[in-house]
Amino acid sequence: MAKKTLILYYSWSGNTKKLAEKIHTQISDSDLKEVDAVDGTFDADQYKTNDIALDQIQANSFPDIKLDNIDFNNYDLILIGSSVWSGYPATPIKTLLDQMKGYQGEVASFFTSAGANRKAYVNHFKEWAKDLNVIGVAENDSKITEWVN
């Protein structure tokens, strides 16, 4: 039986959103929610946004996010989607993971990448989610069926 699944994603350019929506159609018992940074956090320019994110990481000061009030423990599995920013998940994902402390279910991350450092993303996601039960990290939707069943 498929696990009750929550799909959360942050998408700066729209690629991760498209992938999250595709995954949502593949999992019958799933909910889909967007994680967004508060207005004014990032720039419309990709390179400036990347610099802002690197400054946040260096200062260990992550952005506030906009997200519906969710009881994470109503789900068996939470899939978290992000793009790769200089080998890191998008910084709003760190804020999300911090808000998920105490979640007892499984967590996995899917990511979209344009040739960025995939291995670093996997390591940074696991580091940021160290208090959660991370069952996997994979590019695109390559492991979704495995995680859900």
Whether the Cβ atoms of residue 148 and residue 77 lie closer than 8 Å to each other: yes
Q: How confident is the model at residue 1 (pLDDT cuts 50, 70, 90)?
A: low
Distances (CA, A) of 13 to 2, 62, 91, 98: 30, 19, 14, 23
- The two counts, helices (H) then strands (E), for the chain are 5, 8
For 32-90, what is each residue's pLDDT tens digit?
Answer: 999 999 999 999 998 999 999 999 999 999 999 999 899 999 999 999 999 998 899 99
Q: Backbone phi, then psi, for 32, in 5-degree steps?
A: -125, 125
pTM: 0.94
